[in-house]
Structure 1
């Protein structure tokens, strides 16, 4: 029989069993599936001084009788934050496997690092379909049942793991919150050690050697990004000591809802755009990219349609792209296929009206460094009727002019800040597009 929350004690400490029941009950109708043992089953470890629930750190306290408890109000807040998350099952982010990812030694008491945990467990289990819960070990992360959400797709011998973007952002927020909590705990521990004799130091030693101080160690919320890194070169900034810690102090400059984790930059001109979260950093990634070939997938709807103003503003944080009123070559090629050639794409009959033909692909010859020789070719692959047709061949300069016209209509404020009036200091020879041929996709643009 599950424990009940004691009436009249809202906001006080409740036992872990009660917290599990409360979390499961409050999130029962959430769009994001949760588990019923978020505080008591692996990888939750109360001895660390905290547990993760959704995107929130909930402190654990050792009460009388050796029992551990958590603040009821914090559990309720975490559940309320998770319940407002909307999830689109079609908006997926690839989370692995990536061949270039470093292999880490298994450590059940290490911080979240949820991508590595999921990759490791999926590799151990083999197929997701065979991933039945092990006795006494419930696979979840921050109270979220990730195995319900992970999909495995096969393309001959290649498999990939995906999660809805909303869940990726939740787990990124949990990982960020945990990192900040541990940093604050270490800072407080050091200051306490300097001010008090060893006999008065209050520490909670976690399994695996981690130490924290009082579970109520304060953390600083990330602040909005306001252009503090404007027009800085990534090559110089990325080498500065502590830049990763600095990035974590901002919210993502694109979605503005998740803590930033990486510095996005333009690979053609070398300028920093802004700090972004891991989810937005992967939003630009094509499903398929070689040195001169892109498959134009459905996520370009967000980049060039539903969220186009946010992304255009972000891309034009690069002085090179802003001055030339264009985009990096892969982005311009994708825009040309998805927007400029939209009316040329054939359709086929479908049960509910007509459906666009096949899959768009755009390739190019030449380089943006020599615009006169650069030609974009837009093609339809996998046509249901067995056809493979070339929709258009557009010179680079014409594509750039079309983009400039569309930009002025779509995002007037972004277009007003662009233009050939600040060429001083820009690279005379933009760097070539950096190809990605192993599907890791972490440094495409």
Structure 2
């Protein structure tokens, strides 16, 4: 297994966990981030808004690029939005798996994760995200803003049920004191508003706008 951690270009040894192996058209290759950066070009977003099927007909190769998310490995596939069909960018096998199969809550915390989803022109124009990410935006918001009485600890939130048009979340900080469980109901319109606020905040630096909630005025 030691060979699987050695960069095939420079011979540097990679980390024991989460090494440098990446799939290519000719099999797995082990290459360190600097060597990957020298061998492959960074993706610049030039295919933003292009339909994935059109890209397939062109025969454009994701393998020519660095992964758009980790920026450390050779890309292996063009990730695209399955709802609108727009190309989002080239991803390595690991990052592509994270986007498609990882818990949405953790993917949104990944650096660049939310921006990657918004490479889809459809979702960017609608100021929203794929539906499977909505409740995890709400969960993160509740954990950041809700507190049990005077307790300053950040609680853990999870959805209990969806009834009568509202999502009921249970929040817990019982690890810190005896009674730290309570519920919070979030309506569908509140979910949509929270997702839009999250998207606006994510895009604000790109669009040269102040983040929502930032005070502005004359100096």
The two structures have a TM-score, normalised by structure 2, of 0.67
Q: Distance in 2 between matches of 1:241 and 1:410?
A: 32
Q: 2:6 aligns with which of 49, 54, 73?
A: 54
Q: 2:98 aligns with which of 278, 283, 286?
A: 283
Q: Distance in 2 between matches of 1:400 and 1:416?
A: 23
Matched length: 198
Structure 2 partner of 1:322: 124
Structure 2 partner of 1:107: none
Q: Distance in 2 between matches of 1:408 and 1:266?
A: 19
1:266 aligns with 2:81: yes
1:227 aligns with 2:45: yes
The Cα offsets for residues 382-414 of structure 1, whole Å up to 9 and x where unpaired, read as x76999966323233322323333444454234
Q: Distance in 2 between matches of 1:53 and 1:341?
A: 38
Q: Distance in 1 between matches of 2:82 and 2:180?
A: 32
Contact 1:250 1:260 in 2 (8 A): yes
1:378 aligns with 2:196: no
Specify every segment of 5 or more residues in structure 2 that has no aligned partner in the other structure, as ranges: 30-37, 210-219
The Cα offsets for residues 278-308 of structure 1, whole Å up to 9 and x where unpaired, read as 2222333345xxxxxx8x5xx35xx33x62x
**SS of structure 2 residue aligned to 1:56:** coil
User: Following TM superposition, by how much is the alpha carbon of 1:334 offset from its aligned partner in structure 2, in angstroms?
Assistant: 0.8
Q: Distance in 1 between matches of 2:160 and 2:125?
A: 25
User: Following TM superposition, by how much is the alpha carbon of 1:374 offset from its aligned partner in structure 2, in angstroms?
Assistant: 6.0
Change (3 A) 1:321 1:338: same
Q: Distance in 2 between matches of 1:238 and 1:322?
A: 20
Q: Distance in 1 between matches of 2:142 and 2:154?
A: 18
Q: 2:189 aligns with which of 397, 405, 419?
A: 397
Query: Rg: which structure is higher?
Result: 1
Contact 2:138 2:191 in 1 (8 A): yes
Contact 2:78 2:88 in 1 (8 A): yes
Q: Distance in 1 between matches of 2:161 and 2:62?
A: 35
Q: 1:361 aligns with which of 152, 158, 170?
A: 158
Q: Distance in 2 between matches of 1:365 and 1:286?
A: 22
Q: Distance in 1 between matches of 2:196 and 2:125?
A: 11
User: Following TM superposition, by how much is the alpha carbon of 1:252 offset from its aligned partner in structure 2, in angstroms?
Assistant: 0.8
**SS of structure 1 residue aligned to 2:158:** strand
Structure 1 partner of 2:213: none
Structure 1 partner of 2:21: 171
**SS of structure 2 residue aligned to 1:312:** helix
The two structures have a TM-score, normalised by structure 1, of 0.37
Structure 1 partner of 2:212: none
RMSD of aligned Cα (Å)? 4.1
User: Following TM superposition, by how much is the alpha carbon of 1:259 offset from its aligned partner in structure 2, in angstroms?
Assistant: 1.0
Structure 1 partner of 2:11: 78
Contact 2:143 2:154 in 1 (8 A): no
Q: Distance in 2 between matches of 1:356 and 1:412?
A: 28
**SS of structure 1 residue aligned to 2:183:** strand
Change (3 A) 1:376 1:238: farther
**SS of structure 2 residue aligned to 1:254:** coil
User: Following TM superposition, by how much is the alpha carbon of 1:345 offset from its aligned partner in structure 2, in angstroms?
Assistant: 6.0
Specify every segment of 5 or more residues in structure 1 that has no aligned partner in the other structure, as ranges: 1-33, 39-51, 58-76, 86-143, 145-163, 182-219, 288-293, 367-372, 418-445
The Cα offsets for residues 310-366 of structure 1, whole Å up to 9 and x where unpaired, read as 22321111111100111111112211111244333659x9xxx96744xx4347859
Change (3 A) 1:391 1:278: farther
User: Following TM superposition, by how much is the alpha carbon of 1:260 offset from its aligned partner in structure 2, in angstroms?
Assistant: 0.9
